[in-house]
Amino acid sequence: MEHKNDKKLLSWREAWKTNTKLLQLLRRQRPRLLALRITKDIWGALTPYVGIYLSALIIEELSGSRDPDTLLRLVLATLLSAALISLAGAILDRTLAVENADWYYYCRKLLGDKMLDMDFCIMDETRTQQELSTILQNQNGGGWGMGRGLDLIDSLFSSLFTLLGGLALTVTLFTSRVPESAENMTFLNSPLFLLPILAAMLAVTWLAPMLSNKSESYYALNADAHNLGNRLFGHFGFLGYFNDRGVDMRIYRQDIVCEKYNSDKTSTFSSKGPFAKLGRGPMGMYAAASAAVSGILTGAIYVFVCLKAWAGAFGIGMMTQYIGSITRFATGLSSLISNAGMIRINSTFVKQIFDFLEKPNVMYQGSLTTEKRNDRQYEVEFRDVSFRYPGAAQSAEHSEQQYALRHVNIKFKVGQRLAVVGPNGSGKTTFIKLLCRLYDPTEGAILLNGFDIRKYNYREYLSIFSVVFQDFALADLPLGENVAASSAYDRALVSSCLEKAGFSERLKELPRGLDTYLHRTLDEDGITLSGGEQQKVALARALYKDSPFIVLDEPTAALDPIAEAEIYSKFNDIIEDKTAIYISHRLSSCKFCDEILVFDKGNIVQKGSHASLVADSDGKYHALWYAQAQYYDRQEQEEIL
Ligand code: ADP
């Protein structure tokens, strides 16, 4: 599990474009936050100069005429301004904290909304999942992304204002002249002398952040290794947290085998790992050099200002002002450069997020309406449909094997009961996924009432299907809302659907009935349902939707034999006039179906009624049937037949 360093920094141009986009997003979505941040930047950058300016006046007065009234006025002004500045700053901070939290939430939700908005086939691709995981890793592990982006732009502005403020109060340092009486010190007045000072200042101010960015950039350039390290640590370091792993951990002592990841000294963040090496090597050297260079600059400023004061260019009060404002000017300049560098580094990660958010959907969206027909006269046809999952390899030699479905032809009318059987991996679930247009066929077409399903409005098309997939998900919501998939619902109807699905006994036991939360995530009084009970709720949800098509993928796999028998005994009542498509491994439960499709290696190899298929002794169904039937006794077999 090693990662090469394959990150490249964006060019300055691209970084600029990416950050402009980020600011535009902020302006559109959260204009108040933008305005507040700018106000805070100006406020934070300029207000320190009030203190610097007033203290200089006080010292000047103390070292000059020392008039008590003037001093009192100055001290009061200093105290009052400091109090007002702090008060306004605190109010701004509080308001900003709320807005910042909202922005953080917005950025996270943006990714979730994008995932929901994606064509299912894109969302389901491994690449998409990896991209999302990388973005989240970068955010949680390295702190890179939109939140950081905004903070950095913010700091950039604030350092710009700091720099300008410092500059304004420093100009007179260079214009105030050492008096001629100072003789040999008058060289400080020479413009030729000023230039190298300025140049040295700029060079040093430039160098410090450059070196510090160089050090920081190792994190970004090694983001993949950083992410991998975080993932391993996040997983193996916290195995004890997860109660669903608790049993296996104990029985198989997985803690021992997993511990090797925690105790590996050469792993990403350990003492002999790559980051420790970088820290002792170039990263540490650059960081130390940067700190040293900043120290030298501050020293140089002190020497220059002190020399001028000593030579009599200005008084001791002004010296305080110059030292204060130049130091701030230097800090401003240095953080301006440092921020610019960090913005460039962070842009790579922001661009990654924008690229993800801008991933286009590929499925054609038609506008035909399906109309909720009262007669429920719908006819579906698979016309020579073949399908290959997007991630499947496309090399010519293996292409045939990569098809999950091959030349499927089938037509079914409303009201039919259709069973789909076949070995694992034969394409049954894929067949249902194509029917629900989670994917489009690679070849051929699926028609609804004679029109390609791509031509229908997708939401409307989906509304004619109720599906219970094997890996269905129930929400952390009250039972009733789960069944109805809505907050406002018909309670009697929900109860009757739950009853049809065999959940009525359990419902009676629930103290808060339909208002009982499923799972304990959000409510301590919530209930944890068993797999079979969950399946019943999922079935009730499909019934409540009351769509013309009901599709059940192994609907009774988790049910006990009694519950299963109960459901089958009233299957016709449950399904009513709907078209039922029903995937099952238990062939005995398919015999009530009008037609059975037998899938094998992506093809429909047989179709017909149970009796005709069992009779075909060369067929797949016959083999599957007798493989299972050996577990029933003869009488049961005859009953089933
Ligand atoms: P069944 O429901 O009959 O067990 P599936 O329809 O789930 O079979 O799978 C058919 C084939 O498609 C299998 O070979 C499976 O590995 C492959 N397959 C299923 N889902 C995916 C997917 N999301 N990406 C790539 N291949 C898949």
Provide mean pLDDT across the span 350-364.
Answer: 93
What was the pLDDT predicted at 393?
A: 57
Residue with CA at minimum distance from ligand 1 atom 19:
430
The yes-or-no verdict on residue 124 having pLDDT over 50 is yes
* Lowest-pLDDT choice from 81-90, 276-285, 559-568: 559-568
Residue with CA at minimum distance from ligand 1 atom 21:
389
Q: What is the dihedral of CA 577, 578, 580, 586, to 10 degrees?
A: -50
The yes-or-no verdict on residue 394 having pLDDT over 60 is no
- Give percent above pLDDT 90 in the chain: 30
Question: Whole-angstrom distance between the N-terminal and C-terminal Cα of the chain?
Answer: 54
Provide mean pLDDT across the span 219-236.
Answer: 78
Max mean pLDDT among 50-64, 272-286, 426-440, 606-620 falls in 426-440
The pair of structure tokens assigned to 599 is 């899938």
State pLDDT tens for residues 182-192.
Answer: 777 777 777 76
The pair of structure tokens assigned to 423 is 């070995």
The pair of structure tokens assigned to 289 is 């050099």
Which among 402, 430, 435, 601 is the best mutation to test ligand 1's pocket, defined by most ligand atoms within 8 Å of the CB? 430
What was the pLDDT predicted at 383?
A: 96
pTM of the model: 0.75
The rounded distance, in Å, linking the Cα atoms of 468 and 348 is 41
Q: Is the CB of 422 under 6 A from ligand 1?
A: yes
Confidence of residue 398 (pLDDT cuts 50, 70, 90): low
Helix (DSSP H) and strand (DSSP E) numbers for the chain = 25, 10
- Give percent above pLDDT 70 in the chain: 93
3-state SS assignment for residue 36: helix
The yes-or-no verdict on residue 250 having pLDDT over 50 is yes
What was the pLDDT predicted at 484?
A: 94
Q: Which has the higher per-residue pLDDT, 394 or 40?
A: 40
Q: Is the CB of 229 under 6 A from ligand 1?
A: no
Helices (H), 184-281: 191-221, 223-236, 246-251, 254-263, 274-280
Q: Which has the higher per-residue pLDDT, 114 or 331?
A: 114
Q: Is the CB of 453 under 6 A from ligand 1?
A: no
Looking at every residue in the chain, the average pLDDT score rounds to 84
The rounded distance, in Å, linking the Cα atoms of 407 and 599 is 12
Span from the CA of 336 to the centroid of ligand 1 (angstroms): 54
What was the pLDDT predicted at 2?
A: 44
CB-CB contact of 85 with 47 (8 Å): yes
Q: What is the dihedral of CA 469, 475, 479, 481, to 10 degrees?
A: -100
* Lowest-pLDDT choice from 208-212, 480-484, 616-620: 208-212
CB-CB contact of 602 with 578 (8 Å): no
Q: Is the CB of 429 under 6 A from ligand 1?
A: yes
Residue with CA at minimum distance from ligand 1 atom 16:
425
What was the pLDDT predicted at 491?
A: 94
* Lowest-pLDDT choice from 58-62, 158-162, 179-183: 179-183
Residue with CA at minimum distance from ligand 1 atom 25:
389
Burial class of 561 by CB neighbour count within 10 A (0 to 12, 13 to 18, 19+): exposed
The pair of structure tokens assigned to 360 is 């286009």
Q: Is the CB of 427 under 6 A from ligand 1?
A: yes
3-state SS assignment for residue 1: coil
The pair of structure tokens assigned to 105 is 């939430």
Q: Which has the higher per-residue pLDDT, 92 or 589?
A: 92
The rounded distance, in Å, linking the Cα atoms of 494 and 500 is 10
Give backbone dihedrals phi and psi of 373, rounded to 5 degrees, phi first.
Answer: -75, 135
What was the pLDDT predicted at 603?
A: 92
CB-CB contact of 572 with 592 (8 Å): yes
Span from the CA of 115 to the centroid of ligand 1 (angstroms): 22
Span from the CA of 539 to the centroid of ligand 1 (angstroms): 23
Q: Is the CB of 124 under 6 A from ligand 1?
A: yes
Q: What is the 3-state secondary structure (H, E, C) of 394-415?
A: CCHHHHHHHEEEEEEEEEEECC
Provide mean pLDDT across the span 126-132.
Answer: 88
DSSP secondary-structure letter at 64? T
Confidence of residue 194 (pLDDT cuts 50, 70, 90): low
Confidence of residue 589 (pLDDT cuts 50, 70, 90): confident
The yes-or-no verdict on residue 532 having pLDDT over 90 is no
What was the pLDDT predicted at 5?
A: 46
3-state SS assignment for residue 188: helix
Confidence of residue 632 (pLDDT cuts 50, 70, 90): low
Q: How many CB atoms lie within 10 A of CB 448?
A: 20
Q: Is the CB of 389 under 6 A from ligand 1?
A: yes
Span from the CA of 404 to the centroid of ligand 1 (angstroms): 6
The yes-or-no verdict on residue 4 having pLDDT over 50 is no
Span from the CA of 192 to the centroid of ligand 1 (angstroms): 78
* Lowest-pLDDT choice from 559-568, 612-621, 629-638: 629-638
| C-alpha pair distances (Å), 233 with each of 3, 25, 245, 301, 610 | 15, 34, 17, 47, 54
Residue with CA at minimum distance from ligand 1 atom 1:
425
Which atom, in ligand 1's list, is nearest to the CA of 426?
3
Q: Which has the higher per-residue pLDDT, 1 or 512?
A: 512
The pair of structure tokens assigned to 285 is 């050297």
State pLDDT tens for residues 466-511.
Answer: 998 888 888 889 999 999 999 899 999 999 999 988 898 999 998 8
CB-CB contact of 176 with 310 (8 Å): no
The rounded distance, in Å, linking the Cα atoms of 232 and 250 is 21
Q: Which helix (H) or strand (E) holds 381?
A: strand 379-388
The rounded distance, in Å, linking the Cα atoms of 463 and 479 is 21
Span from the CA of 204 to the centroid of ligand 1 (angstroms): 62
What was the pLDDT predicted at 353?
A: 96
The yes-or-no verdict on residue 559 having pLDDT over 70 is yes
Q: Is the CB of 426 under 6 A from ligand 1?
A: yes
The yes-or-no verdict on residue 319 having pLDDT over 60 is yes
Which among 124, 385, 389, 438 is the best mutation to test ligand 1's pocket, defined by most ligand atoms within 8 Å of the CB? 389
